[in-house]
Amino acid sequence: MTDAARAAKWADLPVEAVLPGITRSVIHGERQTVVRYCYEPGAVFPMHAHPEEQITLVLSGRIIFEVEGESIELGAGGVAVLPANVPHGARVVGDEPVETLNALSPRRLQSPRPAG
């Protein structure tokens, strides 16, 4: 690892298909990971949990998070804070694509994978 600053453009990072209608790009810092997810209308991310705390900022569209039996609907500008090891999932609401940025801390040692 290095303490040197670096810069990137999301458009220049690799895009990975995660699930039907869901892609992501990942960038790692020394102590955190940021994941850009793009969801097509109707896309569903199944329930899963991970050891990192997750803060999700919704950039566009509407999405419902299922967290501990509660539904949390967010639109552009909405933010969800998900504690480590708490099962959660998400599904797109409506006809618009959804774009989110997920900050995960501590840094992921590998790219996040859906449960299943």
Q: Beta strand pairing status for 98-105 and 88-93? A: unpaired
Q: Which domains does the chain have, with CATH numbers?
A: 22-105 (2.60.120.10)
C-alpha span between 80 and 74 (Å, rounded): 8
Grade residue 108 by pLDDT with cuts at 50, 70 and 90. confident
Please write the tens of the pLDDT for every residue from 8-35: 999 999 999 999 999 999 999 999 999 9
Q: For residue 82, is pLDDT > 70?
A: yes
Grade residue 116 by pLDDT with cuts at 50, 70 and 90. very low
Query: In the predicted model, what is the mean pLDDT of residues 79-108?
Result: 96
Tokens of 26: 């990942």
Tokens of 22: 């869901």
Please write the tens of the pLDDT for every residue from 40-70: 999 999 999 999 999 999 999 999 999 989 9
Sheet holding 44-48, edge to edge: 44-48, 88-93, 62-67, 70-74
